[in-house]
């Protein structure tokens, strides 16, 4: 099995790392050092920097091999490369981090990649720290970080043969790379490939949260999915792929380097050239060529694998959103208008994740991550507001799709394998939600990209297909290609 950047070259079980003692410069004998501290530093270098053991099974703890590996580690983290275990080095070594090594034997800039752009994932064992629905949402949102920056689509499945299997485990868990208890290694992942390739494991001895306490599952999962897609660790502290854990304050996790690297493996990104400046990322590091960022790459509406991020009726037309691009099909006409969203709605400089129309108010709502815009006709009214306006719990930061059901006066919000029902008359969430999508919509077993309600049917856009769901019979009664709605 080929493993990319996530090949666990020398990953070993180890207790939570504590600070090793300073090694005096020029002293090559370990006899003057507390053996426990040296042992912990040695284990760190063995796991993450390929420090070799001596034939007798005893790792070299002195001499040029040990010192050179300390220097490698210091250079990787931008520390003073002395080969000495100084306080900054000790502090870095004891920081909670990803279990994937920082250096490998491969010479390519990035690892292997999946040979497709629609990638399936499954969630097996859950953590005890969060509700299952929260884990599902956070995992989906972490994948969405990479989906929005690339041409990738992620579809959840309950099939054991999913490309990426996600699970929580403790200590030895069947992959030869046991976890080490609280602290130390938080998670690890395998690069693209068959078998264990693409799998992501989280140490359930950590305290997983959706906020700033403990370890934020969204942040760690997004990092590990980078490995599962083929990315290596970065030396850039601004990068999501930096190996040590750091809570992110920005709504956008990816640096310019992250976006450039994922698109070196997969298709060009669909973001605006000013994408990074709006999120406060430095433009001085690893500039990305502006050409791949331009939206004209998304104009082939009849591509076989075309998917939409959101679909909704606005006025007398149906709007199809993908990335920062938009197609508008007027209901009584054959011609289709298309172009960047900003050409039609200058106030919206992001992609749209979900959209729905409430006909009795002649108002549409366009959702991007945790914010939404109000639209009447095709005019955006006011500033974006928080998604929490609808009454979501705090851990919900985005949704996959939304649709208003005229007959019931409810708006349904879909997120991975769960959904909410919002009462538009009372403007509150209905009691008893979220519920599992599969319970009320049999046959809808994958992540919903978009949804539209028409004459008693809900049309679910799932990947490159549209599933026609009969709300009375509660079953799928038809399947067609998504871009057939654009005349393809």
Spatial separation of the C-alpha atoms in residues 419 and 133, rounded to whole Å: 10
Indicate where the chain has its CATH 2.110.10.10 domain(s): 297-486
Q: From residue 313, give the alpha-carbon distance in Å to each of 106, 156, 318, 330, 343.
A: 50, 27, 4, 10, 18
Spatial separation of the C-alpha atoms in residues 398 and 413, rounded to whole Å: 10
293 or 142, which is more confident: 142
Give the DSSP letter of residue 277: H
pLDDT of amino acid 332 = 66
User: Per CATH, which fold does 30-93 belong to?
Assistant: Muramoyl-pentapeptide Carboxypeptidase; domain 1 (1.10.101)
Look at 96-100, 171-175, 391-395, 423-427 and tell me which has the smallest mean pLDDT. Answer: 391-395
User: Residue 445 pLDDT > 70, yes or no?
Assistant: yes
The reply to whether 439 belongs to the active site is no
Cis peptide before 434 (omega within 30 of 0): yes
The helix (run of H) or strand (run of E) holding residue 436 is strand 435-436
User: Residue 408 pLDDT > 70, yes or no?
Assistant: yes
Task: Report which of 273, 225, 222 is spatially closest to residue 248, judged by C-alpha positions.
Answer: 222
Spatial separation of the C-alpha atoms in residues 358 and 453, rounded to whole Å: 11
For 301, half-sphere exposure in the C-beta direction (CA atoms, 13 angstrom radius) is 18
Spatial separation of the C-alpha atoms in residues 471 and 183, rounded to whole Å: 49
Q: Tokens 């729905």 identify what position? A: 356
pLDDT of amino acid 378 = 67
Token readout for 74 is 């210091």
Spatial separation of the C-alpha atoms in residues 276 and 252, rounded to whole Å: 9
As a 3-state breakdown, the chain gives helix, strand, coil percent values, each rounded to 5, of 20, 25, 50
User: Residue 229 pLDDT > 90, yes or no?
Assistant: yes
Query: At 243, is the secondary structure helix, strand, or coil?
Result: coil
Token readout for 340 is 């960047």
Contact 315, 378 (CB under 8 A): yes
pLDDT averaged over every residue in the chain: 79
250 or 7, which is more confident: 250
Indicate where the chain has its CATH 3.40.390.10 domain(s): 118-293
Output phi, psi for 183, to 5 deg: 80, -170
Can you say which residues are annotated as belonging to the binding site?
Answer: 98, 129, 163, 173, 175, 180-181, 188, 197, 199, 201, 203-204, 206, 223, 227, 233, 241, 309, 353, 355, 402
Q: 341-349: long-range contacts (C-beta < 8 A, 24 or more apart)?
A: 342/272, 344/378, 345/373, 345/375, 345/378, 345/380, 347/373, 347/380, 348/373, 348/380, 349/272, 349/274, 349/278, 349/324
pLDDT band at residue 466 under the 50/70/90 scheme: very high
Spatial separation of the C-alpha atoms in residues 60 and 62, rounded to whole Å: 6
Indicate where the chain has its CATH 1.10.101.10 domain(s): 30-93
pLDDT of amino acid 334 = 66
pLDDT of amino acid 345 = 85
pLDDT band at residue 42 under the 50/70/90 scheme: confident
Q: What is the DSSP string of 196-234?
A: TTT-EEEETTS-EESSSSSEEHHHHHHHHHHHHTT----
pLDDT band at residue 26 under the 50/70/90 scheme: very low
User: Per CATH, which fold does 118-293 belong to?
Assistant: Collagenase (Catalytic Domain) (3.40.390)
- Find the mean pLDDT for residues 79-93: 89
pLDDT band at residue 460 under the 50/70/90 scheme: very high
Q: Which range scores top for mean pLDDT: 79-93, 217-231, 250-264, 384-398?
A: 217-231
Q: Where are the beta strands (DSSP E) in 162-316?
A: 164-169, 185-189, 200-203, 208-209, 215-216, 310-314
pLDDT band at residue 358 under the 50/70/90 scheme: very high
**The dihedral formed by the CA atoms of 93, 172, 204 and 35, expressed in degrees to the nearest 10:** -30
Task: Report which of 393, 438, 395, 389 is spatially closest to residue 411, judged by C-alpha positions.
Answer: 389
Which pLDDT tens digit goes with each residue over 267-298? 543 433 333 333 333 333 333 333 333 333 44
- Find the mean pLDDT for residues 149-178: 87
Please give the CATH superfamily to which domain 297-486 belongs: Hemopexin-like domain (2.110.10.10)
Q: For strand 118-123 and strand 153-156, is the pairing parallel, antiparallel, or unpaired?
A: parallel
Chain centroid to CA 304: 25
pLDDT band at residue 299 under the 50/70/90 scheme: low
Can you say which residues are annotated as belonging to the binding site for Zn(2+)?
Answer: 98, 173, 175, 188, 201, 223, 227, 233, 241
User: Residue 116 pLDDT > 50, yes or no?
Assistant: yes
pLDDT band at residue 166 under the 50/70/90 scheme: very high
Contact 14, 180 (CB under 8 A): yes
98 or 349, which is more confident: 98
Q: Tokens 């703890």 identify what position? A: 61
- pTM here is 0.53
Task: Exactly one of 33, 43, 104, 224 is catalytic; name it.
Answer: 224
Q: What is the DSSP string of 85-122?
A: --HHHHHHHTS-EESS-S--S--SSS----SSSEEEEE
């Amino acid at each position: 099995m080929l493993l990319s950047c996530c090949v666990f070259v020398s990953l070993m079980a180890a207790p939570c790392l504590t600070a090793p003692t300073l090694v005096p410069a020029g002293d090559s004998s370990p006899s003057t050092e507390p053996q426990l501290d040296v042992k912990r530093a040695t284990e760190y270098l063995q796991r993450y920097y390929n420090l070799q053991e001596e034939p007798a099974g005893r790792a070299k703890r002195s001499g040029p091999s040990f010192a050179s590996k300390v220097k490698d580690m210091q250079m990787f983290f931008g520390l003073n490369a002395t080969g000495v275990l100084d306080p900054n080095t000790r502090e870095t070594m004891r920081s909670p981090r990803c279990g994937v090594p920082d250096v490998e034997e491969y010479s390519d800039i990035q690892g292997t990649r999946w040979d497709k752009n629609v990638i399936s994932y499954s969630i097996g064992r859950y953590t005890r720290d969060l509700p299952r629905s929260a884990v599902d949402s956070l995992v989906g949102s972490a994948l969405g970080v990479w989906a929005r920056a690339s041409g990738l689509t992620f579809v959840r499945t309950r099939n054991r043969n999913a490309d990426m299997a996600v699970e929580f485990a403790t200590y030895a868990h069947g992959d030869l790379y046991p976890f080490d208890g609280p602290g130390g290694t938080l998670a690890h992942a395998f690069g693209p490939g068959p078998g264990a390739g693409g799998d992501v494991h989280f140490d359930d001895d950590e305290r997983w949260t959706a906020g700033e306490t403990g370890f934020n599952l969204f942040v760690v999962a997004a990092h590990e999915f980078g490995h599962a897609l083929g990315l290596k660790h970065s030396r850039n502290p601004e990068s999501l792929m930096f190996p040590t854990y750091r809570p992110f304050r920005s709504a956008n996790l990816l640096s310019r380097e992250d976006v450039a690297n994922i698109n070196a493996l997969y298709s060009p990104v669909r973001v605006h050239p000013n994408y990074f400046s709006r999120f406060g990322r430095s433009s001085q590091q690893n500039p990305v060529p502006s050409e791949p960022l331009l939206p004209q790459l998304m104009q082939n509406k009849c591509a076989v694998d075309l998917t939409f991020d959101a679909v909704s009726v606005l006025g007398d037309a149906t709007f199809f959103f993908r990335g920062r691009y938009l197609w508008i099909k007027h209901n009584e006409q054959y011609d289709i208008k298309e172009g960047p969203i900003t050409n039609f709605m200058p106030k919206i400089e992001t992609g749209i994740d979900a959209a729905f129309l409430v006909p009795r108010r002649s108002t549409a709502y366009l959702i991007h991550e945790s914010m939404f815009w109000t639209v009447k006709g095709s005019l955006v009214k006011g500033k974006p507001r928080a998604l929490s306006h609808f009454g979501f719990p705090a851990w919900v930061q985005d949704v996959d799709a939304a649709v208003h059901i005229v007959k019931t006066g409810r708006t349904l919000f879909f997120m991975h394998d769960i959904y909410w029902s919002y009462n538009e008359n009372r403007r509150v969430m209905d009691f008893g939600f979220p519920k599992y999508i599969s319970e009320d919509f049999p046959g809808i077993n994958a992540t919903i990209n978009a949804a539209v309600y028409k004459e008693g049917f809900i049309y679910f856009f799932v990947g490159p297909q549209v599933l026609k769901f009969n709300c009375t019979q509660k079953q799928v009664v038809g399947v067609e290609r998504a871009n057939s709605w654009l005349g393809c």
